[in-house]
Amino acid sequence: MVRYLGGWFVLLAVAMINGALREFTYGKYVSELSAHQLSCVTGILLFAVVIRQYVRLWPPVSAREAWQIGLFWMALTVAFEFLFFHYVAGHPWEVLLANYDMSAGRLWPLILLWVAVAPYLFYRNSLRGRR
């Protein structure tokens, strides 16, 4: 479990770097929605690199474990988002929930989906490579 938690902290660091990149570069030149969307795409790509490497270094022993890792990381991400950004950063619940509105162009749910599914996908891909 410690290894999985450590992997999530790496993802958290990558997310912070991705957010800083957005805020200090292209976020100044495009709309907030466009910056959010671009940041989600780059986040998914950066997470892919981290998750792939994690699965290569410490492969799950089964498909079930791969799913457990992804769902654990997703749960930690959602908990962190709501607890930290509401109670520490002071964002209202409405603002946090608005990030889940894909009909308004918000792509945050895709990141959560990717975090949940990616360990399994990379695990399956690693099995094909062993054959």
Please tell me the distance from the alpha carbon of residue 90 to that of residue 126, in angstroms, as a whole number.
42
CB 107 within 8 A of CB 36: yes
Please tell me the distance from the alpha carbon of residue 128 to that of residue 131, in angstroms, as a whole number.
5
| Whether the predicted pLDDT of 123 surpasses 80 | yes
Q: Residue 75's domain spans which residues?
A: 2-130
pLDDT confidence of residue 121: 97
Count of domains for the chain: 1
Please tell me the distance from the alpha carbon of residue 64 to that of residue 82, in angstroms, as a whole number.
27
Phi first, then psi: what are they for 89, rounded to 5°? -85, -15
pLDDT confidence of residue 128: 76
Average pLDDT over the chain, rounded to whole? 95
For residue 100, the SS3 value is: coil
pLDDT in tens, 26-75: 999 999 999 999 999 999 999 999 999 999 999 999 999 999 999 999 99
